[in-house]
Amino acid sequence: MLLKELRTAVLEANLELVRRGLVLYTFGNASGVDRAQGLVVIKPSGVEYDELRPEDMVVTDLNGKIVDGKLKPSSDLATHTLLYREFLEIGGVVHTHSEYATSFAQAGMAIPALGTTHADYFYGPVPCTEPLSDEAIGGDYVHETGLAIVARFRGTLEDAEEGRDEIDPMAVPACLVAGHAPFVWGSDVSDAAHNAVVLEAVARMAYRTLTLEAEAGVVTKALLDRHYFRKHGAKATYGQG
Amino acid sequence: MLLKELRTAVLEANLELVRRGLVLYTFGNASGVDRAQGLVVIKPSGVEYDELRPEDMVVTDLNGKIVDGKLKPSSDLATHTLLYREFLEIGGVVHTHSEYATSFAQAGMAIPALGTTHADYFYGPVPCTEPLSDEAIGGDYVHETGLAIVARFRGTLEDAEEGRDEIDPMAVPACLVAGHAPFVWGSDVSDAAHNAVVLEAVARMAYRTLTLEAEAGVVTKALLDRHYFRKHGAKATYGQG
Amino acid sequence: MLLKELRTAVLEANLELVRRGLVLYTFGNASGVDRAQGLVVIKPSGVEYDELRPEDMVVTDLNGKIVDGKLKPSSDLATHTLLYREFLEIGGVVHTHSEYATSFAQAGMAIPALGTTHADYFYGPVPCTEPLSDEAIGGDYVHETGLAIVARFRGTLEDAEEGRDEIDPMAVPACLVAGHAPFVWGSDVSDAAHNAVVLEAVARMAYRTLTLEAEAGVVTKALLDRHYFRKHGAKATYGQG
Amino acid sequence: MLLKELRTAVLEANLELVRRGLVLYTFGNASGVDRAQGLVVIKPSGVEYDELRPEDMVVTDLNGKIVDGKLKPSSDLATHTLLYREFLEIGGVVHTHSEYATSFAQAGMAIPALGTTHADYFYGPVPCTEPLSDEAIGGDYVHETGLAIVARFRGTLEDAEEGRDEIDPMAVPACLVAGHAPFVWGSDVSDAAHNAVVLEAVARMAYRTLTLEAEAGVVTKALLDRHYFRKHGAKATYGQG
């Protein structure tokens, strides 16, 4: 079987989303990429989780053309493949409608970095895209969803003129799509699922912080640096590694 | 046994409501209709869920006259039968006091379409009835509850004069009864239960979105169309169908 | 063993509070009364629930004097016995720090009757006592807690002058103690535990209704009558009874 | 094995945090101290809970120097050891990112004493530290976190001049670190874990009380005394002790 290990990892990540309560019915999908072969493995669309087996995963190329699989791939495939083409360091993508992150997306709000739990995983606010135009929605919608995410990370001409930096997708491995829900990624599909679970916890705490104190301040640059680089990069000190 | 399959489906839908946490004690009921025979199968009133068997379901005609069954039917029967008589395409009805949807009903507020999770299932806001008059409450109350729902979908003369369309009950398969709780329906009783579970998830997210950002905007018509018709109608693309 | 059935019922009610998530550690207690013998059976103080057996229950007279039992009774005993002496129709009392009802108590707010779930069980708002005076707190505190509840139901001279009726403890079987938590009662200890579970559900929905719409209106007298008398009194229609 | 009983108690306390839902993934740690030997036992950093055995616990001296253990200790060790050096009566320390307590920490707010559940455990508000300076964050950060807690309990010169008392760490066994999360302690590690669970419950109720009624008043000194000393000190009456 082609990409047997990756299929198993993608299935396991999908099940992790269910176990952690991020998914209702079949509202979620995870994929992983094999960069060497240029192949993506993704969950099929609308199949019950308890029936899924590794061989049900769908394999496509980086443009979403099906290479192997009898089932239809997740309807969000074109967003996944665009993210793989544009964010070259990522190895896995997860999309859920996890409820607190989705509530921020529905409010059109970024999740501000209000504490160290956030800073341990996301080096700055988790951004929210601009609303998609009617044209984009009526056109190649799933692809356009990916474009909106990429645009939010690359920044606009106006961002550049005003000195706002691009966002590094490996330093902030998630984006809220306005009026929709989060997309989350990571170094591989397992890492992407882990980040999706943490994003939802961070969103729950941000929700409660902001409803308690609407003017709650974000963490300082110093605290963001301290916590983010505690878990990431060459000088990481957390864990047994 | 009359309507054996429908009895089993109705029982299973009632149990699904319990499993999904929509029901406390016996506060909920589901029914299904056999259009060919003009018969309704509904849960009996106030019986513990773990004691229910298919043969305990009560069979009535479309006017609520008992045709088969030793137990008293759910006290909400007259709302169910009215909905079956008025909304001819529906095959199942569910009533719960699921807590977030009920909180909107208690606030007398419709659940606005704030995101794509909503748009995947409900083609526009989930409406809330007008409060029932004292006369309606003191009269044939359960029947009047159904009338209030139907009135909300058909619209008033004033709605018509101001160009507000009727609401299609198959496109928006739920209504909040002001000061009370939701009624939800679907193509069959299993679909109605599924819609009730999604309604509660949508209500949870709408609650959090609105308490985070009271001015949160609703999704555009384009996004509503894109998501609703992704899962419904002749051009649906979701799932393996 | 004295009062064997009542001991078993009291133990079972205490366990029901745990199963329904109303109790953290040992923060709760339930008691039942045998009116014929004038004896109260109550949970012992601070014992782990999974170790409790019927013979561990403590039996006291209506003044709280221990008649049988090796363990110390719940520290809230004097509130229970006062309620039994003053509210002659009640057969069971439950005290928990269930979190949403306690949040209203901490806010010093009654739980308004915002919907039919409330009206099915509580014929009007669930009242909140006045804060206890320093003198009452420094004196016979547990007894004074009971007095504050009774005072809230009997009404003050000012209430009488302004035409506010007494509250019937059988029609509103619960009271919030300001800055503390709810006391709930019923026709027997099982009914009291059931009412405590429903009170917490009603409090959750009232919390969400009021945080969504601070001006949410209470149900009409007509709706309150319809729902309350649907489940209570000679003309009750709910269930198989 | 050195300190076998304490290792087992520390492991058990860590697992209790997981069972009570205070910990996501490996975001938490508990330690205990042996005062006679001057040794601390703490969880290793970033190891899965279901793999932990007593022999995996790390033993250090009161300055955090490893005395026994193959694994790296929790990255928060230096906060634990500072608390042991400064608060001489405590026997266990727990750190979690439990979500409601963390939400107050992110808001930079103390948890006010709004009810008797709080007063049973915390004799006054659970304070929140000042935000750490950039210098402290960039320096010996984990140690500085402990210093900020101690400073909050000892009080500043300004506190003294304005007549604000020091806070007794045994009377208020927890502190929120601004923008971060709670640290909780107790007479031993089991007591510290128990206090951490109660803190989270108290934070949940405080959150709901304040979002319901922003002006909710704190309990009176009389009620605080009554409840705190009901469970603590020579005149405690709660439980079977």
User: Which pLDDT belongs to residue A156?
Assistant: 75
| pLDDT band at residue D63 under the 50/70/90 scheme | very high
- The answer to whether residue A120 is catalytic is yes
- Record the tokens describing residue A188, joined without a space: 């591989």
**Structure-derived torsion over alpha carbons of residues C221, C223, C225, C230, reported in degrees to the nearest 10:** -170
Which residues on B lie below 8 Å from C240 (Cβ)? 44-47, 71-72
**Catalytic position from the list A120, A121, A191, A228:** A120
Nearest-by-CA chain A residue for B215: A107
Q: How far is B11 from chain A (nearest CA, A)?
A: 20
- Record the tokens describing residue B37, joined without a space: 């025979």
Is it the case that residue D3 has pLDDT exceeding 70? yes
| Alpha helix stretches (DSSP H) within chain D | 4-19, 77-86, 99-107, 116-121, 134-138, 141-154, 157-161, 189-212, 221-231
Q: How far apart are CA A102 and CA B201, in angstroms?
A: 11
* Region of poorest pLDDT, from A16-20, A114-118, A229-233: A229-233
User: Which pLDDT belongs to residue B241?
Assistant: 62
Is it the case that residue A69 has pLDDT exceeding 80? yes
Q: How far apart are CA D209 and CA A75, in angstroms?
A: 43
**Structure-derived torsion over alpha carbons of residues A20, A26, A28, A30, reported in degrees to the nearest 10:** 90
In a domain, A104, yes or no: yes
8 Å CB contact of A179 and B219? yes
8 Å CB contact of A212 and D109? yes
Those of residues 105-164 in A touching chain D at CB distance below 8 A are 114-117
Beta strands (DSSP E) in B69-186 are 92-96, 174-176, 182-186
* Measured distance between the N- and C-terminal CA atoms of chain B, rounded to whole angstroms: 33
In this structure, what DSSP letter does residue A89 have? T
- What Å distances lie between residue C206 and A50, A90, C103, C117, CA to CA? 37, 45, 11, 10
Share of chain D above pLDDT 90, in %: 86
User: Which pLDDT belongs to residue C160?
Assistant: 76
Structure confidence by residue, pLDDT tens digits, D24-62: 998 999 999 999 999 999 999 988 888 899 999 999 999
In a domain, A167, yes or no: yes
Structure confidence by residue, pLDDT tens digits, C53-110: 999 999 999 999 999 999 999 999 999 999 999 999 999 999 999 999 999 999 999 9
In a domain, C241, yes or no: no
User: Which pLDDT belongs to residue D241?
Assistant: 62
- Record the tokens describing residue C193, joined without a space: 């535990």
A117, A216, A222 member nearest D102 (Cβ): A117
Instruction: Show which subunits contact C, needing at least 3 CB pairs below 8 angstroms.
Output: B, D
Whether A172 and A126 have beta carbons less than 8 Å apart is answered as yes
Contact of C216 with chain B, judged by CB distance below 8 Å, is answered with: yes
- Record the tokens describing residue B45, joined without a space: 């009133």
Is it the case that residue D175 has pLDDT exceeding 70? yes
Is it the case that residue C219 has pLDDT exceeding 70? yes
Whether A60 and A84 have beta carbons less than 8 Å apart is answered as no
In a domain, B239, yes or no: no
Is it the case that residue A2 has pLDDT exceeding 90? no
Whether B141 and C225 have beta carbons less than 8 Å apart is answered as no
Mean per-residue pLDDT, B161-178: 91
In a domain, D237, yes or no: no
Is it the case that residue D223 has pLDDT exceeding 90? yes
User: Which pLDDT belongs to residue D30?
Assistant: 98
Which residues on B lie below 8 Å from A132 (Cβ)? 223
- What Å distances lie between residue D74 and A230, A233, B71, D26, CA to CA? 12, 19, 61, 10
Q: What is the ipTM of this complex?
A: 0.95
- Record the tokens describing residue B47, joined without a space: 């019986």
Mean pLDDT taken over chain A: 94
Q: In what order do the strands lie in the sheet with A39-42?
A: A66-68, A58-61, A39-42, A28-34, A92-96, A182-186, A174-176
Structure confidence by residue, pLDDT tens digits, B61-79: 999 999 999 999 999 999 9
Alpha-carbon torsion (C114, C120, C122, C123), positive or negative: positive
Helix (H) or strand (E) holding B99: helix B99-107
Q: How far apart are CA B117 and CA A96, in angstroms?
A: 10
Contact of C51 with chain B, judged by CB distance below 8 Å, is answered with: no
Contact of D75 with chain A, judged by CB distance below 8 Å, is answered with: yes
Helix (H) or strand (E) holding D60: strand D58-61
Mean per-residue pLDDT, A88-99: 98
| pLDDT band at residue D153 under the 50/70/90 scheme | very high
Structure confidence by residue, pLDDT tens digits, A182-241: 999 999 999 999 999 999 999 999 999 999 999 999 999 999 999 999 888 777 777 776
Give the CATH number of the domain where residue C41 resides. 3.40.225.10
8 Å CB contact of A102 and B205? yes
Which residues on C lie below 8 Å from B134 (Cβ)? 220-222
In a domain, A238, yes or no: no
Mean per-residue pLDDT, D92-119: 98
8 Å CB contact of A226 and D45? no
Give the contacts of C136 (CB within 8 A, at least 6 positions apart). C144, C147, C148
* Secondary structure of residue B40 in the 3-state scheme: strand
Q: How far is CA C217 from the centre of its chain?
A: 25
In a domain, D14, yes or no: yes
Q: How far apart are CA C77 and CA C145, in angstroms?
A: 11
Q: How far apart are CA C60 and CA C42, in angstroms?
A: 8
Is it the case that residue A159 has pLDDT exceeding 70? yes
Q: How far apart are CA A1 and CA A12, in angstroms?
A: 17
Contact of A66 with chain B, judged by CB distance below 8 Å, is answered with: no
8 Å CB contact of C230 and B108? no
Pick the more confident residue, D160 or B25. B25
Q: How far is D127 from chain C (nearest CA, A)?
A: 19
In a domain, A239, yes or no: no
- Record the tokens describing residue A88, joined without a space: 């070259």
Whether B204 and B170 have beta carbons less than 8 Å apart is answered as no
Q: List the domain range (segments joined by +) for residue D199.
A: 4-231
Whether D49 and D18 have beta carbons less than 8 Å apart is answered as yes
User: Which pLDDT belongs to residue D71?
Assistant: 96
Mean pLDDT taken over chain C: 94
Pick the more confident residue, A2 or D217. D217
Which residues on C lie below 8 Å from D197 (Cβ)? 24-25
Residues of C with catalytic function: 120, 238
Q: How far is CA D90 from the centre of its chain?
A: 10
* Region of poorest pLDDT, from A198-212, B224-238, C185-199: B224-238
Backbone angles phi, psi at D79, to 5 degrees: -75, -45
Helix (H) or strand (E) holding A149: helix A141-154
* Region of poorest pLDDT, from A202-216, D63-77, D162-176: D162-176
B25, B103, B137 member nearest C205 (Cβ): B103
Q: How far apart are CA B101 and CA B218, in angstroms?
A: 18
Q: How far is C206 from chain D (nearest CA, A)?
A: 10
Mean pLDDT taken over chain B: 94
Contact of B80 with chain C, judged by CB distance below 8 Å, is answered with: no
User: How many domains, chain A?
Assistant: 1
Is it the case that residue D19 has pLDDT exceeding 90? yes
- Record the tokens describing residue D64, joined without a space: 């955090």
8 Å CB contact of B45 and C205? no
In this structure, what DSSP letter does residue A15 have? H
User: Which pLDDT belongs to residue A241?
Assistant: 62
Q: How far apart are CA D113 and CA D233, in angstroms?
A: 19
User: Which pLDDT belongs to residue A26?
Assistant: 87
Contact of B229 with chain A, judged by CB distance below 8 Å, is answered with: no
| pLDDT band at residue A121 under the 50/70/90 scheme | very high
Which residues on A lie below 8 Å from B197 (Cβ)? 24-25
Whether C71 and C15 have beta carbons less than 8 Å apart is answered as no
**Residue from B27, B14, C180 nearest D226 by CA:** C180
Residues of B with catalytic function: 120, 238
Mean per-residue pLDDT, B127-135: 96
